Amino acid sequence: MAFEALRFIHAAGVLADHQVRDTGPCDDDVRSKLIDATLHSFERIVEACVDNEVDFLLLTGDTYDESDRSLRARVTIREGFTCLEEAGIDVFVVPGPRDSQDAWASFKDLPDNVSLFVSEVDEPTAIMRNGNVVATLQACLGRSSENAVQQDESSSMGQSRIGPFRIGIIPPFASSGATPDESVVETWLAAHRVDYLAVPLPFARTTITRMEQIAHGPGPATSMTRDDRGPIGCSLVTVEARSSIKTETIVTSLLRRETINITIGDTATWDQLMSAMRGYVESLPGLERASVLILNWVLTGCGELHESLQDAGAERELFELLEADSSLAEGQHMIHSLTLQPETTPTENEAVHESGDAKWDDGAVEHEDTNPLLTSFLGRVDREHSIAGNVVRRLKAAGDDSSEPWLNRLEVLAGRVSQNAVANRSRGYGAEWFDSAAEATSDFDDE
C-alpha cells in the first residue's frame, strides 16, 4: 500500500475548565480570563484543526479532569467535537490519569467522529481517508515487546516510507510528580516499530529522533503552573511522502509565563532598566496570542538603582510605567513579580547570564552608545530561545532532504546542548570581535 502524506494535530493536557495556578493577585478582568483559559485553549485547538485542514486530532490524556465535575467542560468538548465532525475531521482520544476510560464511557452524546483508544486493551486502529488507510494507532505497552526492532539500526536509514503511517501510543504517566528522564522515551522509541511515538504528560514539549523515527510530546495545552513557561500549545504534525516528519507549535494558551533575569551594574539608570524591560517584552515571539502575561523579573546587581527597588513604592512605580509604555494590544494584561538578588562574582567556568538576560555595566553602556552592531548582535542572541535548534532548522530548510541520518542525529544532539552555555559563549565572542573591529576602524580613521 502506497504511503499517503497527512497532517494531524497532537494535543495533551487540555484539562478543559480546570483552573490554572500560581497566578498571584489580579484584578477582575484578568481573573475572568484566567477562569476561562483552559476552555479557550481547547477552542483554539479546534480552530487550528479546521484552519489547517488536518486529517485528525489526537488527544493523549487529561483532556478534562473528571473530579472537577464540570458541566462547562463537557459542553465545550462536545461542541468542539461536533464542529470537527462538520469539518470532516476525526478525533482520537487516549484516556489519561484524570480522564479515565470509565469517565469517557459516561460522557454521553459524543459525535460519531470521536473514537476512544485505550492502550491497555485496544488492537491497532486504522485511520481512514476516502476509504484508504492513511495511518494506524497502536499501543506501546512496554519498553520491549514482540514488535521490538530487531534489525540493524542502519538497515532502514535513507529509505522512503511505505504503507500507512504508524503512530505509537504510550499510556500516559501520572500527571504530577517529577518528569521522567528523556532516556525513558528513547528506550520506548527503540523498542517499537512505529514512525511517530506520542509522548504523554508529564513531559514538557519534547522531540527525540532515532533514524527515521520521532518521539514527540506537545506538552500541556495551557500554562497550568509556574513551571510551564514560554509559548504553550499543541503541535501540528506534517508527514511528507519521503519520510519527513515536521512538528510545529501552535500556541493555544492564553496565559504566557516568563522569567527574565537581568543583571544591573552600580551605574545603571532607571531609563536603561525601563528600556531593557520594555524591549524584552516586545521581543517575545508569539506575544499576540497571549491575553495574560505573567512576568517574573529577577534583578541581580548592586548600586543605587538596585537598592531603590527594595522599596515597595518604587517597585509599583516601575511596573506601572512599564505597562503604561508597553506595546501590548487592547485586552492584553500583564502581571508582575520582582525578585532582587545581590550581585555575585562568577567563577571562570560559570555562566554570567541566563537565556534572555540583559546586563549593564560601564562597558556595556558604552557599547550600547558607540557600537550599534554589537548592541544589535547581543539583542539577537537574547531573543533566540534555542540557538542550536535554530541552526538545525536552517540546515533543514537549506537542504534537499531533511531526512538525512546525520541531520536527524544532529537534531538529537542539539536538544541536549545547554542553550545558556551557547548564548554566553556567543556573547563573549561577539563582544571580542566587535571590539577588535571597532578598534581597527578607529585606527584606520586616525591614519
Q: Is residue 381 part of a domain?
A: no
* 375/435 Cα distance (integer angstroms): 12
121 and 223 share one domain:
yes
Q: Is residue 432 part of a domain?
A: no
The SS3 assignment for 34 reads helix
pTM of the model: 0.74
pLDDT of res. 279: 86
Q: Is residue 310 part of a domain?
A: yes
203 and 326 share one domain:
no
Alpha carbon separation from 45 to 11, 16, 91, 416 (Å, rounded): 8, 11, 12, 29
269 CB-contact burial (10 Å; exposed 0-12 / middle 13-18 / buried 19+) = middle
pLDDT of res. 110: 94
Output the nine-digit C-alpha cell for 91: 478525533
pLDDT of res. 349: 37
Q: Is residue 444 part of a domain?
A: no
Range of the structural domain that residue 350 is part of = 255-370
293 and 244 share one domain:
no
Cβ 13 vs Cβ 204: under 8 Å: no
203 and 324 share one domain:
no
Last residue of a domain, one of 218, 251, 284: 251
432 CB-contact burial (10 Å; exposed 0-12 / middle 13-18 / buried 19+) = exposed
Q: Is residue 399 part of a domain?
A: no
Last residue of a domain, one of 208, 232, 251: 251
* 323/305 Cα distance (integer angstroms): 19
81 and 202 share one domain:
yes
167 and 150 share one domain:
yes
* 357/340 Cα distance (integer angstroms): 14
Alpha carbon separation from 414 to 198, 245, 408 (Å, rounded): 20, 17, 10
User: Mean pLDDT, consecutive 10-residue segments, the chain of 447 residues?
Assistant: 82 96 89 95 98 97 95 97 97 95 92 92 89 91 48 39 83 69 84 91 86 91 93 94 82 95 88 89 87 94 91 91 82 91 57 41 36 61 58 62 56 56 64 62 50
Last residue of a domain, one of 251, 266, 288: 251
265 and 233 share one domain:
no
283 and 308 share one domain:
yes
* 256/223 Cα distance (integer angstroms): 7
pLDDT of res. 98: 93
103 and 11 share one domain:
yes
269 and 156 share one domain:
no
Output phi, psi for 261, to 5 deg: -100, 125
* 195/213 Cα distance (integer angstroms): 5
Q: Please give the sequence-ordered ranges of beta strands (E in DSSP) within 228-271, or none if there are none.
A: 233-239, 245-251, 255-264
pLDDT of res. 235: 97
- What are the b/e assignments for 362-400, b being 16+ CB within 10 Å? eebeebbeebeebeebbeebbebebbbbeebeebbeeee
pLDDT of res. 247: 94
Total number of domains constituting the chain: 2
Q: Is residue 390 part of a domain?
A: no
56 and 120 share one domain:
yes
Q: Is residue 110 part of a domain?
A: yes
Q: Is residue 398 part of a domain?
A: no
User: Edge to edge, what strands does the sheet with 132-139 contain?
Assistant: 125-129, 132-139, 165-169, 196-198, 213-217, 206-210
88 and 15 share one domain:
yes
**Residue 100: which CATH number?**
3.60.21.10
Output the nine-digit C-alpha cell for 418: 545547554
* 46/221 Cα distance (integer angstroms): 12
